[in-house]
Structure 1
C-alpha cells in the first residue's frame, strides 16, 4: 500500500467498550494497572469521542479567545474528508446531526493544558503493559483534566486496525540509548511495529541544537542510535528511521505552521519553559521557542496520527492538533488535509540511575545498551541502595532499591514483588548481583547484534539512505498538498 494512504490517528489504553450516543460511536476505555515505580495502581481512565469536523476558530482571523469553538461548513460541493482512524465513517448518516453542542464543549487552551511539566527529554515516548480494571468511566471523567476531546486513543483499536494508523516518534541523537529508553520506549515500539502498525522514527538531529551550545558528535550519535534501534528489533522493512536534516520539506512545513501559532502561545508552552530551565541557558533562542511547532511538523509531514507519549508530553500532541486544525480551517476551507493526531498514552516505568536520580545521559548515571557485561557489573556495584538488608518493592519509601528490583523484574519476566522476595534478607549486594545477571542475560543477544552492526557501516548507511528517501517522498507530498491549499502551486 502506498505509505501516503495510511493516515489515521494516535492511541493506547485498556479494555474497550463500544457505546452508541446519538448516532455517534463513543469509545470508552477502562483504567489500567501499570507496574511502574511509584505507581502500582494507575487509575487513569481514558475516553475517546469522535471529533469529526468540529473545528474552531481557535484564535484565527476572528475575534475570540483560544479554546472557543465555531463551526466551519465544508465548501459547497465538497464532501467532508475523514481520515482513516476517525471514529465515524464519511458516509455516516448521522454525521451532521452529531456535530452538536454536546460534542463541542470548547477546547481548552492546548498550549497551556498539561498534566505535568516534566522536561520533554530526549524521546517522544513511553509505554508499559497495562492490565484492565473493571470500572467504566464516562468520556468526560476519563481524559486527563484540561485536555482536548478526542486527544487520547485506545490501544485495542490500534491493534485491531493497525492499517488505520501511522506512528511518529523518535529520539534526539545525544548519545547511545540506555535502559530507561529500552524499558520505556524501544520495547514498545518493536511490539507495535510487529503488530503491523506503520511506524516512522525520527532521529531529530536538528533538535539537538535547540538547547545546547555544544551538540557533541551528532554524526556519530545518529549511527549509535540507529545501531540501538536495529539491535533491539526495529525492522527497516517495516519501520522508516530517518534524520531531520535529510528531509528539507519537513522543515519547510515549519513556515506555514508558524503562521497559525502566536508568539504568546509559544512562549507559554510548558515544554519550552522546562527545556529552557533544564538547559541552563539564560536566553531563549528562536529554535527552542519554535521547538513544539517543529515537532508538529515532525508528526504531520508523514500524516502521522498516533504518538506514543507520557502524560507530561501531552502538550506536544495538543499543539500538533491545534496546528493541523488551524491549517485545515484557515487555508483548506475546512477540508482535512492534515490529521489531528491522538496520543497513545501510557506511563513508562520510572527507572532510576545508579545515583538514585532519574536515569539520564546528561547525568551520566545510566546503564547503556552498548555497555559490556563487565561495564554493566561495575556500574551496578556502585548503585545506590539503603541500609535495610531486607529487600522489598516499595517505590514510595525505598525508591533506589525498588528501581533496581523493577529493572531486574522487567528484564527477567517477573513481578517486582517476586523478584524482591527471592532475595529476601541477603541485602544490597545480592540485589545488585541479581540485577546484573538479569540485565546482562537479557541484553546479551542485543549487544551481540549491535557488535555485528558496528562491523558493517555500509549497511547502516544504506538503511538510513533508504529511509531518508521514503521520508522525503512523504514530506514532499504533504508539503505540496499544503502549498496547494495556500495557492502556491504555480506550474
Structure 2
C-alpha cells in the first residue's frame, strides 16, 4: 500500500504547552506510528522547526536557537521518533527560500490580502503595519510543504485557508511548467483537521498562549500543574460547594473531557450537576489526571535534557536528510522551468 508524506511544523517559541500537545503533537505521533494492514507505514512524517516564519512577527533572533532546542526536546519527549520522522530547522535548508521566491511569482498580493487567517492575525496581534514577509507567510508555507512533496497537512481549522493557497500554487506551477519526464512536479496536498485543535487557556478567555500566561507546560511537574489549576475559571453560577454546576460551560470540565477516563468523567459530571462535587476537588482530580498524562513525557524529557549532544545530533542528521530531499525537488523544479543549464 502507498505511503503518503506529511509535513507539519511549529514556530520555535521554547517549551511547549498542553495546547500544542492536544492540537498538534498527539496527532503527529499518531500519524508517525500509523500502519497499513500489511504492516507498512501509512505516512512518512516530516516535522519542521519554522524559524524563518518566526521572523514575520519578531526580528529578535537572540533566543531562536535555544527556543528551537527546547521545542525539539518537547517533541522528542512527547514521542516524536527520529528513527521514523524527519526533524529539521527551516533556516538550515536553503531551498525553502529559493522555492518561496519562485512561488511568489505565481500569486497576487490581492489574493494574499484576502486570506482570512492573515486578517485574524493582524487583529489579534494589534499590528500597526504589515511586513511583506507576513503577507507572504502562506507562500513560504507552500514552499515548506511542496519542497517535500507533502500529500497531507495536519492543521487546525484556522489554517485551512493557508493550505488552500498551497493547493492553488501547486496547480498554477503544474499548469505553467511540466517536467520533461515527470509531468506535474507537485502534488496538491489535502488538509487533515486535528481533533482538539484548540485548548482554551486557564483564564477561559482565549486559547493557551505563553504570552497570556494561561498555560500548563509539558515540562510542568505535578505541583506546578496543581498550582496553575487552582485559579482556573469555572462555572460562574457555582459559587458555593453545594451549588449545582453546569459542566458544559466549565473550563475545568473541558479539560476533564480530554484527560479523564470515561467512568470517572461520568462521576464528575453527575457530582457537578448535583452539587455533590465542589470545584476545589474537581480541580485536584483534573490536575492529577493531567500530571498522569505528562508523567512519561517528563521522564523522556529528563533523558534528552541530560544528553544535549544527542539532541543536536538528531537535529543535524535530520537537516542533512532534509537537504537531500529538498535538493532533489529543486532540481526537478529547475528542469521544469528550464532554469540553469541550457537545453540547446
TM-score (norm 2): 0.89
Q: 1:320–1:419: structure 2 CA closer, same or farther, 3 Å change rule?
A: farther
Q: Which moved more, 1:475-484 or 1:327-336?
A: 327-336
In the TM superposition, 1:2-401 aligns within 5 A as 161=1, 163-195=2-34, 196=41, 197-214=43-60, 217-332=63-178, 335-348=183-196, 350-357=198-205, 358-385=207-234, 386-388=236-238, 389-394=243-248, 398=249, 401=250
Q: CA deviation at 1:330?
A: 0.7
1:281-328 Cα shifts (integer Å, max 9, x gaps) = 211101101100000001001000101122222111110011111111
Corresponding residue of 2:291: 440
Of Structure 1 and Structure 2, which has the larger fraction of its residues in helix?
2
Number of aligned residues = 324
The reply on whether 1:473 has 2:324 as its aligned counterpart is yes
Whole-angstrom distance in 1 between the partners of 2:130 and 2:20: 28
1:121-151 Cα shifts (integer Å, max 9, x gaps) = xxxxxxxxxxxxxxxxxxxxxxxxxxxxxxx
Gaps of 5+ in 1: 1-160
Q: CA deviation at 1:411?
A: 2.0
Corresponding residue of 2:37: none
Corresponding residue of 1:413: 261
Q: 1:455–1:270: structure 2 CA closer, same or farther, 3 Å change rule?
A: same
Corresponding residue of 2:279: 428
Q: CA deviation at 1:170?
A: 1.2
Q: 1:416–1:266: structure 2 CA closer, same or farther, 3 Å change rule?
A: farther
Q: 1:418–1:180: structure 2 CA closer, same or farther, 3 Å change rule?
A: same
Gaps of 5+ in 2: 35-40
1:49-107 Cα shifts (integer Å, max 9, x gaps) = xxxxxxxxxxxxxxxxxxxxxxxxxxxxxxxxxxxxxxxxxxxxxxxxxxxxxxxxxxx
1:173-216 Cα shifts (integer Å, max 9, x gaps) = 11211111111221111111111211001110111110234456
Q: 1:457–1:263: structure 2 CA closer, same or farther, 3 Å change rule?
A: same
Whole-angstrom distance in 2 between the partners of 1:415 and 1:481: 55
Q: CA deviation at 1:482?
A: 0.6
Does structure 2 conserve the Cα–Cα contact (< 8 Å) formed by 1:392 and 1:417?
Answer: no
Q: 1:419–1:451: structure 2 CA closer, same or farther, 3 Å change rule?
A: farther
* Helix, strand or coil at the partner of 1:378: helix
Does structure 2 conserve the Cα–Cα contact (< 8 Å) formed by 1:390 and 1:427?
Answer: no
Q: CA RMSD in A?
A: 1.9
* Helix, strand or coil at the partner of 1:170: strand
* Helix, strand or coil at the partner of 1:390: coil
In the TM superposition, 1:445-456 aligns within 5 A as 445-456=296-307
Whole-angstrom distance in 1 between the partners of 2:173 and 2:93: 21
